[in-house]
Amino acid sequence: MGSRPAGAGDGQLLWSVYRSSRLDEVSAWGWGDAQIDAFLQMQWQTEQRARAMQHPHADSRVIVVDGKDVGRLLVDRAGDCILVVDIALLSEARGRGIGRAVLGDLLIEAQGRGVPVVLCVRRGNRAERLYRSLGFLITSEDELHLHMAFKPLVGAAAGVLSRSEAWQTRS
């Protein structure tokens, strides 16, 4: 498993990842396929423009497993934290430990830099369980979202942790 920089030729993949991540939610609204796709396409385009303006220096990556593009990671390292702007996987890649491994790498980086990892998740998103299991705590919330942070261990408490210990022992 690894990642590569997202490029101009990845638009269809990024659209597919976004669509896959929202399809269950929007399908419950009783709309037809054409209406769902039109709505999601509009939201995706708006989100892409907003993220480009809000996080101009973010690192946009394609998550790759066994040579296959399976997801997207957008991370902004500007400032005093590692901000996970977006992490999403195609539906067939979910539940296989890929998100845990990707986030684990970010937690190791955070530990080394001594900065928190922060993210925001929609209420009801099943990824919240994953975030909690990795040691993320809710820092604030509103009607739609939970804002969460992983704060690295510091000083003697940090010790020398292996790659897996750094994010598996925080639950």
Q: In terms of DSSP bridges, do strands 137-141 and 117-122 run parallel, antiparallel, or are they unpaired?
A: unpaired
Confidence (pLDDT) at 79: 86
Q: Which CATH number fits domain 2-168: 2.70.170.10, 3.40.630.30, 1.10.3720.10, 3.40.920.10?
A: 3.40.630.30
Predicted confidence at residue 124, as pLDDT, reads 87
pLDDT mean values, one per 10 residues, the chain (171 residues): 95 96 91 95 96 96 97 95 97 96 96 96 92 97 97 64 46 38
Residues 127-136 as b or e (16 or more Cβ within 10 Å = b) = bbebbeebbb
List the chain domain ranges: 2-168
Predicted pLDDT of residue 160: 47
Query: Which pLDDT belongs to residue 158?
Result: 52
Write down the pLDDT at residue 170.
Answer: 41
* Secondary structure of the chain in HEC code, one letter for each residue: CEEEECCHHHHHHHHHHHHHHHHHHHHCCCCCHHHHHHHHHHHHHHHHHHHHHHCCCCEEEEEEECCEEEEEEEEECCCCCEEEEEEEECHHHCCCCHHHHHHHHHHHHHHHHCCCEEEEEECCCCHHHHHHHCCCEEEEECCCEEEEEECCCCHHHCCCCCCCHHHHCCC
CA distances for 44 relative to 20, 37, 133, angstroms? 12, 10, 29
- In this predicted structure, what is the pLDDT of residue 163? 46
- pLDDT, residue 128, reads 95
The separation between CA 147 and the C-alpha centre of its own chain, rounded to angstroms, equals 13
